[in-house]
Structure 1
Amino acid sequence: MRALGQLLRREIHPVLALLLAGCVLIGLPGWMILDRAAILRNGAEIVFKTAPVDPRDLMRGDYVRLRYEEISNVDGSLFKGELPAHDGPVRLWLTLHDGEDGLGVVKAVSLNTPVNRAPGEIFLRSNPTRWTRSGSSEAVAGQLSLSFGIERYYVPEGEGLEIEAARNQQRTTVAVRISDKGDAQIARIMIDGKALYEEPLY
């Protein structure tokens, strides 16, 4: 035990410290890239129609803002199961399936991870959203405003105007891949059903 304590108290050699720091700096982005690629390769695919965005807040630099008709604002009456017991940020789960038109439809919203997956169902997890117990009744009676990390799509500078115009004419759809953990990645941007941008794995 004493030997271990002495070892822990020793100063780390500067070269070793640099190597460790380099491994962390390289390893973390590498892990993020691999995780994203795994979702794009293996995730379940579902297509959403985009919704218009406030024209006062359009193109900013090199990305297009995206909202989704079906999942950006969800009918609170679809909430199933127990409500959050405490104030603060919560992640909600959406149970999705393909509608008759081939677009994703929300079947249910829940606080806890859904456990029984029916054929064709996909589970999508939201980013943390603010919840207050005092507003629970109003929330489930109204609209739940949610985000999922797929609200921006980066494009070469100057090439987003076509997407913006089609988005605000409701001609844009987005194919999203969703992992078993509920994480989402944009796979394709489509206008009138034709792919305009397709995400590479790496």
Structure 2
Amino acid sequence: MKLKIILLIALFAIQLAIPGYMIFEQNQILTEGTAYKFKTRPIDPYDPFRGRYVTLAFEANQEVIPVVDGADIESEQWVYALLGVDEEGYAVLRGLTDTKPDSGQDYLYLETYYRSYDGGYHVKLPFNRYYASEKSAPKIESAVWRRQRDEVENVYAVIRVLNGKGSIEELMVNDMPIHEYIAHTSE
């Protein structure tokens, strides 16, 4: 009987520890990670279990990322994407490698999808959903679509990166957090 109670308590502890660790890890990324601005183009779907969110289609997903000299990479392989910043201050994936970078070099751990004719690879960034309320998600989508009609200059996501993992900190429109932008344009 005591063994069953101990096993039951252990099972409950494990069930609480897993989501607790996930919350801790996301908080650590958001508080200690380096911020990068990723250019994006969102669309607005609905998830019946998690609610409204804006799916972010990052420009980096459309680019061919070169392979670092000496790296042995294949399609559908988990690799390290070295991060840098372009002259406009936006994040760029500088290269893919199969060797974990030295400390001091920010990187994302992600999967390659297919090889390009020039030897580089297409990748998909692992963070692509910005969750919003039922009321604000359509407004967010509308704000982003105005960008495509040249009414909005730039839309990007601020992503915090730490130890190969990234987490969305904020969605920005014209250098304003999305909720401030919506409030400003609704007046």
Give the TM interval when normalised to the shorter protein: 0.7 to 0.9
4+ residue stretches of structure 1 with deviation over 6 A? Answer: none
Structure 1 segment 41-190 matched on structure 2, within 5 A? 41-51=31-41, 58-61=44-47, 62-69=52-59, 71-76=60-65, 78-81=66-69, 82-84=71-73, 89-115=76-102, 117=104, 122-126=106-110, 128-130=111-113, 138-139=115-116, 141=118, 144-168=121-145, 169=147, 171-179=154-162, 181-190=163-172
> Structure 1 unaligned runs (5+)?
1-10, 132-137
Contact 1:79/1:140 (CA < 8 Å) preserved in 2?
A: no
Q: Report the TM-score, using the length of structure 2 for normalisation.
A: 0.77
Q: Report the TM-score, using the length of structure 1 for normalisation.
A: 0.72
Bigger radius of gyration, 1 or 2? Answer: 1
- 1:26–1:112 Cα change, 3 Å: same
- 1:172–1:22 Cα change, 3 Å: same
Secondary structure of 1:149's counterpart equals coil
From the two aligned structures, give the one with the greater strand fraction.
2
Percent identity between matched residues is 22
Return the letter of the residue paired with 2:168: I
Contact 2:83/2:108 (CA < 8 Å) preserved in 1?
A: yes
> What is aligned with 1:24?
14
Highest RCO, 1 vs 2 (Cα 8 Å, sep ≥ 6):
1
> Structure 2 unaligned runs (5+)?
149-153, 181-187
The RMSD of aligned alpha carbons is 2.6
> What is aligned with 1:3?
none
Alignment length (residue pairs): 169
> What is aligned with 1:6?
none
Secondary structure of 2:5's counterpart equals helix
